[in-house]
Amino acid sequence: MINNCDRSAWIHGGECNCPNRLEPRKKAFRFVLLGAPGVGKGTLAALLSEKLKICQLATGDIFRNLKQLPEEELTPALKTSLEHMLRGELVPDDIVIEVVRDRMKCLNCPAGFILDGFPRTLKQAEALDEMLAELNIELDAVINLEMPIDKIIERLGARRICKICGAVYNLVNRRPKIDGKCDHCGGELYQREDDKPESIRVRMDIYNKLTTPLIEYYSKKGKLLTIDATIEVYGVYNEIKRILDSDGYMPPL
């Protein structure tokens, strides 16, 4: 998948130079992706981003990027975030909300957005509602990807990511052509610190406790679209298109 968006404004803060902002379009799409770690939110976000020419805004990318920053650039709040992330725990709500607020112009993009990994708690969902109300925009849908837990654990343990371009592989069902190397750019593949078994268990417990209530929250608002994520990503895209896109704004695969 070719991801055309330049997410530097999202990941690092600052000005946006993303070509998606300028792309002529009939409709903006504003999605939130929900689903336990490992259900394929990132893969779906990348496909939606490519097809609809909108940016994938993943809060996990912001926090992972902190690892690259020199110590002196980390504020106390960002240092705390990094420590939580490396333990597989959620970053405290106040910090995440402030980080997203600092990047509110990405939410206000004329292209729309795909929020991946935010909100993750009720407090974050309420904060997002406030931000959208301030911008006078609404979500099109909250896409909830569902998958049985044993399948999720198997997938997460086998996930590998390219150090250079971020492409995602799976040693079970999406192997790279050459072991340990990215098919797209030849970059080295690595396993995320929080995809190791000890962290996976912590992340699943947290998801069940804190994020599952969002399903009811968005269902009550009439925004929830639950999809079986055991089917491959193109099937998920077609399902979203079938249900949400009666006007035909989403391009076919």
Contact call for residue 195 and ligand AMP (CB under 6 A): no
What DSSP designation does 239 have? H
Contact call for residue 36 and ligand AMP (CB under 6 A): no
Task: List the x/- string, 71-100, binding to ligand AMP by CB under 6 A.
Answer: -------------xx--xxxx----x----
Q: Which of 44, 65, 55 is nearest to 1 (CA)?
A: 44
Contact call for residue 117 and ligand AMP (CB under 6 A): yes
Shortest spacing between CB 215 and ligand AMP, in angstroms:
15
Which residues lie below 8 Å from residue 86, measured CB to CB, with a gap of 6+?
193, 194
Contact call for residue 123 and ligand AMP (CB under 6 A): no
Contact call for residue 10 and ligand AMP (CB under 6 A): no
- How many residues can be counted in the chain? 253
Contact call for residue 37 and ligand AMP (CB under 6 A): yes
Contact call for residue 127 and ligand AMP (CB under 6 A): no
Closer by beta carbon to ligand AMP, 20 or else 56:
56
The CA distance from 102 to 127, in Å, is 13
Closer by beta carbon to ligand AMP, 21 or else 121:
121
User: Taking the CB of residue 109, how many other CB atoms lie within 10 A of it?
Assistant: 21
Contact call for residue 113 and ligand AMP (CB under 6 A): no
The CA distance from 35 to 167, in Å, is 19
Among 53-61, 72-80, 148-156, 243-251, the segment contacting ligand AMP (CB under 6 A): 53-61
Which residues lie below 8 Å from residue 114, measured CB to CB, with a gap of 6+?
29, 31, 32, 33, 45, 48, 49, 54, 55, 56, 57
Contact call for residue 217 and ligand AMP (CB under 6 A): no
What DSSP designation does 102 have? H
Closer by beta carbon to ligand AMP, 127 or else 240:
127
Contact call for residue 144 and ligand AMP (CB under 6 A): no
Among 10, 48, 194, 229, binds ligand AMP (CB under 6 A): 194
Q: Are strands 159-162 and 168-170 parallel, antiparallel or unpaired?
A: antiparallel
Active site residues: 41, 120, 159, 192, 203
Which residues lie below 8 Å from residue 14, measured CB to CB, with a gap of 6+?
8
Q: Which residues bind ligand AMP (CB under 6 A)?
A: 37, 58-60, 63, 84-85, 88-91, 96, 117-118, 120, 124, 194, 203
